Amino acid sequence: RTGPIVVLGSANMDLVTRQPRLPEPGETMTGSDFSTGAGGKGLNQAVAARRAGAEVAFAGAVGDDGFGRELRAFLEGERIATDALRTSAAPTGIAQVSVLDGGENSIVIVAGANGEEELTDGDRALIASAAALVVQLERPLALVERALAAGRQAEALTVLTPAPVDAEAARLLPLVDILVPNESEALALSGASDVETAARRLSAEAGTVIVTRGSKGALIARGGDIVAAVAAREVEAVDTTGAGDTFVGVLVAWLTRGEPLEAAVEAATAAAAIAVTRPGAAPAMPTREEIDAALE
């Protein structure tokens, strides 16, 4: 099937401060660093697929504000199509990330424009032309459901990352060709207490399930059975943020080029291993040349 990979999902401006600890209620505290960056699981997966060489269109919403203009320019700079990126009356979504001394992150997300719930005619037309539709759960569940139904009707490959996990998302599984949860999402969505049972259970409802397990690699299940376990690559991890999004974007880029699932999972594993050796989410994602070199 030809056509672009359509990623329908969130775009956030990440606002990152470094500080010794979280302030107490009523306290004003001095932090030591501040940076901004393009983020959101939707935007991240779009960037991963695009860098891996696929044609990608992003269906999302930003506000009529400076952050929204920056995110639009960022996507255009990556040569991701933004015709279906709408400007909403709500402000651009943000993720306020506090990096605490000791390395832990505390995050507040305000969905803003990502809360737009309608599937527009423009979104529908784009999905009808798609080779694959890629969604996550940082947009309203009702929107994701309508998008998956449209993707299924168009016979596009439908791919869901169930994050942030929501038990209600179990009803989406029959519309999903490839489900890519991490371990905790797989357990929460299936109600199982171990990851093998979770993968088997979820794959009885969705097409193929790929449970990502950080440095332990990935487990693949289909039709209620585990069909393969893929080891992660051994690397020195610097920042694992965005590893899962890199994995999904690259997986779909390979699949839409007609590569078999096993080869796509190998490429996704190699790409995610590169991403964890570099700081940041989107900025850490490898190009197709880098992935090909790692696979040789």
Q: Does 95 bind ligand ATP (CB under 6 A)?
A: no
User: Rounded to whole angstroms, how far apart are CA atoms 196 and 49?
Assistant: 28
Tokens representing 261? 């699932």
Long-range contacts, stretch 161-166, CB < 8 angstroms, 24+ apart: 161/41, 161/45, 161/134, 161/135, 161/136, 161/137, 161/244, 161/245, 161/248, 162/136, 162/137, 162/189, 163/41, 163/136, 163/137, 163/138, 163/244, 164/137, 164/138, 165/137, 165/189, 166/137, 166/141
- Closest-by-Cβ residue to ligand ATP is 244
Q: Contact region for ligand ATP (CB under 6 A) — 30-38, 82-90, 146-154, 207-215?
A: 207-215
Closer CB to ligand ATP, residue 173 or residue 251? 251
Nearer to ligand ATP, 150 or 218 (CB): 218
Per rule CB under 6 A, is residue 208 in the interface with ligand ATP? no
Which residues 213-272 are close enough to bind ligand ATP by CB under 6 A? 213-215, 217-218, 232-233, 235, 237, 240-245, 247, 269, 272
What is d(CA 48, CA 248) in angstroms, rounded to the nearest whole number? 8
Could you tell me the two tokens for 216?
A: 């332990």
245 in active site: yes
Binding of ligand ATP by 273 (CB under 6 A): yes
Residue 172 C-beta: closest distance to ligand ATP, Å: 18
Q: Known catalytic residues?
A: 245
Residue numbers of the site for ligand ATP (CB under 6 A)?
182, 212-215, 217-218, 232-233, 235, 237, 240-245, 247, 269, 272-273, 276
